[in-house]
Structure 1
Amino acid sequence: MTDTGLRPSPISATVDFAAEGVQHGFLRLPYSRDDSAWGSVMVPITVVRNGKGPTALLTGGNHGDEYEGPIALFDLARSLRADEVSGAVIIVPAMNYPAFLAGTRTSPIDRGNMNRSFPGRPDGTVTEKIADYFQRVLLPMADLVLDFHSGGKTLDFLPFCAAHILPNKQQEAKAFEFVTAFAAPYSMKMLEIDAVGMYDTAAEDMGKIFITTELGGGGTTTARSAAIAKRGTMNVLRHAGIVSCAVDSSPTRWLDMPDGRCFSFAEQGGLIEPTIDLGEAVAEDAVIARIYPTGKTGEAPREIRAAMDGILCARHFPGLVKSGDCVGVVAVVTN
């Protein structure tokens, strides 16, 4: 394997991360292609710095078909003033910018899933080069990372803010303090199906405080989910002491994903009929969906059953599923 550890990133920033004030610019990645021989991928970035204090790295568009984060962060980038800040706020509304422009989960350039591409490579694909820049340049600057997600085109979630159970219990406790401060309608102790290559894992392995969200889905947004994202962003900055104002707190319902029994998957493709809606109670062995074969009439649907008690916190969104698709996720209510 080639050692790329000492190679410089091909990405150059048009902002000065050490400068005081508000700067709007780009992370410019050279990208030669058929329609632009000396072209570039231009990832928008805003840096707001004023005096001493923590640094927050705020990101959206890790997956390009998830919109609450970009809405909240484009809005924050235009409105946050330097005199409101003690420390620094680095805002990247659309991490995987090619995917964001295409409205797809992965990059149309290389099919790269940004959230499975860390630590990245400076000599890799476009997605890997962007991940490498975050890994080696942006994440080391940050004390706190907030990365927005929602269900995209294929999932729908109850609106929650989340952090992970970690080996470092002090780091874990601080992360859940920020989840509480975000004050989403639901708060989650989250379990990942596969954490290898994730932005989350990269940040947590550096000892950073990392929190994330799932705020709806279906490849769109709502007035409610966008408002949750905007309010939660400011609450995180307030809790960090970067913005001097009291946290706008509200009650949250705590959920837990204790193990792999939370997830239900389709073993065959077909037409899906939900039998339980998001937020409704689920009993172990209850039918949460039916999948009808679509090749012939008269055949019985396959029933998808819950493996545990709880509430339905996520579901497949489109009407058709394929074998292996996640059909539903059950979480345990802990308060």
Structure 2
Amino acid sequence: MSEQHLRPSPISATVDFEAEGVQHGFLRLPYSRDDSAWGSVMIPITVIKNGEGPTALLTGGNHGDEYEGPIALFDLARTLGPDAMTGRVIIVPAMNYPAFTAGTRTSPIDKGNMNRSFPGRPDGTVTEKIADYFQRELLPLADIVLDFHSGGKTLDFLPFCAAHILPDKEQEARAFELVKAFGAPWSMKMLEIDAVGMYDTAAEEMGKVFITTELGGGGTATARSAGIAKRGVRNVLRAAGILKGAVETSKTEWLDMPDGDCFAFAEETGLVEFLADLGEVVQRGSVIARIHPTGRTGAEPVEIHARMDGIFTARHYPGLIKAGDCCAVLAIPV
């Protein structure tokens, strides 16, 4: 372990992770700033424990403009009692709390992207300090990890729960069992295009059973997407043997993201027009979007072509797109 990781975390918890019952408290991170010389970032946390059993670490707000996870987890923290469960549940509805309160993907303090900041640093930026605390203090406590995501302000997804293909096939199988139990309308074998520094990777490298979601987008949550999140988290706890009762079964359609041909990126800046909607079948070579130049009239749009047959799974949001933005994502039915 590097010298920096031998240093203690500056974050202190106001909850006791070993105590029985329900505790609502904070992860307090000292943060000296212009308006509060001895101020702190106060990240809400709930710990619920009843006897011996597995530990589930449930997180939302890894990106601050994604809301299904926080809705489901603030609700769960308020309503879940120890008598209904065996084991321990650690709930952090908004990991990157500064980003969550600002409604931005990254932290307004240091522009840190929480999901690209692991393993973090105890002497780093605010975002790196939070990541370090999860890396060294919370992840080691967990048996399973559910981290909620959605498209935020710049993407819109079919609502799916996902896990990754892993070298450890037993770990992979356990993750996909929880994906199935979550019961989203779609279930994904997910490919990451940029896995360096991800919370996912940190958890998986520790041998944790890790699952995640993409449950919509557009910088908001709908009744449907929030409902999927609220039902899904309880199903995961039931399947893990923590929450009493049977999993509420529902139909899910399995998808796979096999390679980089799933992704289409904009090479021009302009107004995007989609020629297919999420959930529709598209054919390799078909035009799935046009990017219209906006600097003058009469100019021809640039076409975005599908590089594979598949289901239209995610799209850029809202209507203006920049060169380099992810325009569309396809997946194939399993």
Same fold (TM over 0.5): yes
Q: How does 1:160-175 map to 2 (within 5 A)?
A: 160-175=160-175
The residue number in structure 2 matching 1:14 is: 14
The residue number in structure 2 matching 1:75 is: 75
The one-letter code of the counterpart of 1:6 is L
The residue number in structure 1 matching 2:321 is: 321
Separation in 2 of the partners of 1:135 and 1:85?
Answer: 26
The one-letter code of the counterpart of 1:210 is F
Does 2:60 match 1:60? yes
The residue number in structure 1 matching 2:179 is: 179
Separation in 1 of the partners of 2:268 and 2:5?
Answer: 43
- Give aligned pairs, total: 334
TM-fit CA distance, 1:137: 0.2
CA-to-aligned-CA distance 1:272-319 (integer Å, 9 cap, x gap) = 001100000010011110001111111100000000001100000111
Separation in 2 of the partners of 1:6 and 1:304?
Answer: 49
The residue number in structure 2 matching 1:279 is: 279
Separation in 1 of the partners of 2:48 and 2:142?
Answer: 13
TM-fit CA distance, 1:68: 0.1
The residue number in structure 1 matching 2:301 is: 301
CA-to-aligned-CA distance 1:170-215 (integer Å, 9 cap, x gap) = 0000000000000000000000001000000000000000000000
CA-to-aligned-CA distance 1:21-44 (integer Å, 9 cap, x gap) = 000000000000000000000000
Q: What residue ranges of structure 2 are gaps of 5+ in the alignment?
A: none
Separation in 1 of the partners of 2:120 and 2:5?
Answer: 11
Separation in 2 of the partners of 1:174 and 1:230?
Answer: 21
Separation in 1 of the partners of 2:180 and 2:82?
Answer: 26
Separation in 2 of the partners of 1:140 and 1:300?
Answer: 55
The one-letter code of the counterpart of 2:320 is L
Separation in 2 of the partners of 1:207 and 1:286?
Answer: 41
TM-fit CA distance, 1:244: 1.2
Separation in 2 of the partners of 1:297 and 1:250?
Answer: 49
TM-fit CA distance, 1:81: 0.3
TM-fit CA distance, 1:112: 0.2
Separation in 1 of the partners of 2:22 and 2:249?
Answer: 28
The residue number in structure 1 matching 2:4 is: 4
Separation in 1 of the partners of 2:95 and 2:14?
Answer: 16
TM-fit CA distance, 1:3: 2.3
Does 2:223 match 1:223? yes
SS of alignment partner, residue 193 of structure 1: coil
Separation in 1 of the partners of 2:281 and 2:77?
Answer: 39
The residue number in structure 2 matching 1:45 is: 45
CA-to-aligned-CA distance 1:117-156 (integer Å, 9 cap, x gap) = 0000000000000000000000000000000000000000
The residue number in structure 2 matching 1:124 is: 124
CA-to-aligned-CA distance 1:76-111 (integer Å, 9 cap, x gap) = 000000111100000000000000000000000000
SS of alignment partner, residue 236 of structure 1: helix
SS of alignment partner, residue 314 of structure 1: strand
The one-letter code of the counterpart of 2:166 is L
SS of alignment partner, residue 5 of structure 1: helix
The residue number in structure 2 matching 1:243 is: 243
Does 2:115 match 1:115? yes
Separation in 2 of the partners of 1:185 and 1:318?
Answer: 23
TM-score (norm 2): 0.99
Does 2:93 match 1:93? yes
The one-letter code of the counterpart of 1:71 is I
The one-letter code of the counterpart of 2:216 is G
Separation in 1 of the partners of 2:266 and 2:28?
Answer: 41
Separation in 1 of the partners of 2:26 and 2:226?
Answer: 24
Separation in 1 of the partners of 2:166 and 2:292?
Answer: 40
Q: Percent identity?
A: 78
Separation in 1 of the partners of 2:244 and 2:322?
Answer: 49
Does 2:206 match 1:203? no
The one-letter code of the counterpart of 1:317 is Y
SS of alignment partner, residue 247 of structure 1: coil
Separation in 1 of the partners of 2:3 and 2:314?
Answer: 41
